Amino acid sequence: MTRIRLSALATTAALAASGGLLTATPASAAVSCASPVWKAEYFANTTLTGTPKLTACDSAVAENYGLGDPAGVTLPKDNFSVRWSLTRDFGSGGPFTFTAEAQDGIRVHLDGVRRIDLWKNTTTTQKKTVALTVPAGRHTLRVDYATWTGAANVKFTYAPNTSATADKVRPLAPTGASVAYDRALNKVTLKWAANKEMDLAGYRLYRRLPTTAWAKVSSATALIPGTSYVNYPPATGESFLYELRAVDRAGNESWGGADLTVATVDRTPTAAPAGVTATDGAGGVALAWQPVTGAVKYTVHRQRTGTTDPAVQVATGITGTAWKDTAAAERTGYTYGVSAVDAAGNVSARTGVSGSHGDYAPAAPTGLTVVDASNAVRQHVLSWTAPADTDVVSYRVYRNGSLLDTSSFTSLKDMQAVRHGTTYRYAVSAMDAAGNESPLSAEASITTEGDLDAPAAVTGVKATPREDGVLVEWDASTEPDLKRYEVFKAERYDDGDGGYVWLAHPVEYLAEDATSFLHPSPADGETVMYTVIAVDDWENTLRVEDPTLNWVEVTELGTPVTE
């Protein structure tokens, strides 16, 4: 009969292999089998003594030798024995089931203590199962088998009891855990070493803030099967603690492993501002809102009501809880949106509010200045800065409290009887299209140079009739600021009541160095009067009715004209 061995020991038994293949080594060589692989030693006797004929690594104790000796080793067909042994980590231990069956004898030891003893020559396969509690940690199993005569087979299994009523032992906490955090993706990757539990079902991952309780972040029902996990924590800028726990097939959960800390990037905005109001006033639409916890500044957007215009940011970096839209157009409605910005630059949702700006007087012009720009004509030049209001159409200029003039521009020349030696106070207001007038600007004042004293009356005035007119002569004035002379002629007119009046009018302006003037006039024998009036640099001059003037009467040559 062909002898069959159910283990991997066959023609490959003497080869070192990978991927689960077993290895066998001649008896003369030392053999080391990686846990939890069994080390199998074959003896040519039933007492398991002497030098093994073969030492091999076996993945399981499960052999059927039939009626002969094991293949790959020279043993007698009867009266041989095999010893399997291994040392492995049982994790947290707990209830286990050991099952042995063989023809002929089998004994099972745990840490040298015999747990199963079926050591006898039988004609049928015998079997025994025992339940026992294995302590936590590493333990050594040894299975001794002997066959005396007849058929030969052997099998041993050990397995944890995963009944929830029997297994009350927690698994060991996971070890070797590490964490990596990707700030760009806000991704936490955790890795850990495989748990030693033989009845491991999987892992659970918990997370918490330093001040809160643990909360499970892995699946609500499924366990983590492998030794790595990816989690995306809230991107709040807070530090989160992670803890791994192992779970066995009885549902027992281990204590937590070492806590791992992750400082997250802050991508979570604050709450949106509450209590936003919009109040209209002369200076614009005033917005106000309640402070937001965590906000360091606020941003305002604006959109015109009833249009498809996009909302435009009109203010940013507001550190308080109020802002006035001074650029709001009059007679226009708006929808405003206020958002909060935290220290990390996260922007909250906008809280909207409707507001409108009515028709108000413009703001007062600013920066009013006045300068003396006199040359041949005495004049003051005013200029100012327009207010921000967009509906200003003109300006009113006031001098010494009275309306002087209007202007469509932000400048004006005052040439209306500007006198020397006089102080003028100016102010400007703005007018909008609806006729609303702004408050007056700040005043600007100017005092013109010179004095108010007219030169003294010119002396030595005389008039001599000639064929070609009347020659007027006078003494040179001694005024230091003399500018010119003005020659006046007075003629007599009937007053309608039997009398007459003299009416004077200027006939010539002469330079300051003149002392005579020939006034061409017809030689008609008319009696007239002449005088000369001095004018200084400040345009001061005596009036023609001044009694100090020296008038001279003269009768022109010729025969009077009769009517």
Pick the CATH number of 24-160 from 2.60.120.260, 3.40.50.261, 3.40.50.1000, 3.40.50.2300: 2.60.120.260
CATH 3.90.76.10 fits domain 178-263: no
Q: What is the pLDDT of residue 277?
A: 97
Q: What is the pLDDT of residue 555?
A: 92
Q: What is the largest CA-CA distance in the chain?
A: 190
Q: What is the pLDDT of residue 8?
A: 37
Q: Are 177 and 261 in contact (CB under 8 A)?
A: no
According to CATH, where is 2.60.40.10 located in the chain? 178-263, 277-357, 366-447, 462-555
Q: Are 79 and 91 in contact (CB under 8 A)?
A: no
HSE on the CB side for 269, CA within 13 Å?
14
Q: Would you call 392 exposed, middle or buried from its count of C-beta atoms within 10 A (0-12, 13-18, 19+)?
A: buried
- Closest among 526, 525, 533 to 551, alpha carbons compared: 533
Which amino acid belongs to residue 161?
A: N
Q: What is the pLDDT of residue 5?
A: 37
Q: What is the pLDDT of residue 496?
A: 78
Which phi-psi region, left, alpha or beta, contains residue 275 (left: φ > 0; alpha: ψ -120 to 50)? left
Beta strands in 119-167 (DSSP E): 126-134, 138-147, 152-160
- Report the alpha-carbon distance of residue 348 to residue 562 in Å, rounded: 104
Q: Are 12 and 77 in contact (CB under 8 A)?
A: no
- Report the alpha-carbon distance of residue 156 to residue 224 in Å, rounded: 31
DSSP letter for each residue of 84-102: EEEEEE-TT-EEEEEEEEE
HSE on the CB side for 511, CA within 13 Å?
2
- Report the alpha-carbon distance of residue 378 to residue 415 in Å, rounded: 6
Other beta carbons less than 10 A from residue 178's beta carbon: 12
- Hey, what CATH class is 277-357 in? mainly beta
Q: What is the pLDDT of residue 560?
A: 66
Length of the chain, please?
Answer: 563
Beta strands in 172-282 (DSSP E): 178-182, 187-191, 200-208, 215-216, 228-231, 239-248, 260-263, 277-281
- Hey, what CATH class is 462-555 in? mainly beta
Q: What is the pLDDT of residue 183?
A: 95
147 phi/psi in degrees, rounded to 5 = -125, 135
Whether the ω angle into residue 365 lies within 30 degrees of 0, i.e. cis, is: no
- Hey, what CATH class is 366-447 in? mainly beta
* Beta-bridge partner residues of 100: 128, 156
- Closest among 160, 158, 143, 34 to 91, alpha carbons compared: 160
Q: Are 66 and 103 in contact (CB under 8 A)?
A: no
- Report the alpha-carbon distance of residue 430 to residue 388 in Å, rounded: 11
Q: Which residue has the tokens 């109001």?
A: 277
Q: What is the pLDDT of residue 7?
A: 40
Along the chain (563 residues), what's the average pLDDT of each consecutive run of 10 residues?
35 34 51 94 96 95 89 88 97 97 97 97 96 96 96 97 95 96 97 95 97 92 95 95 97 96 95 96 92 96 92 95 92 94 94 91 93 78 91 94 93 82 91 90 87 90 93 94 94 81 92 95 88 90 94 87 56
**CA 444 to chain CA centroid, nearest Å:** 46
Burial pattern 498-521, b for ≥16 Cβ within 10 A else e, equals eeeeeebeebeeeebebeebebeb
* Beta-bridge partner residues of 510: 485
Q: Which residue has the tokens 């991927």?
A: 19
Q: What is the pLDDT of residue 561?
A: 57
- Helix (H) or strand (E) holding 25, with range, is strand 24-26
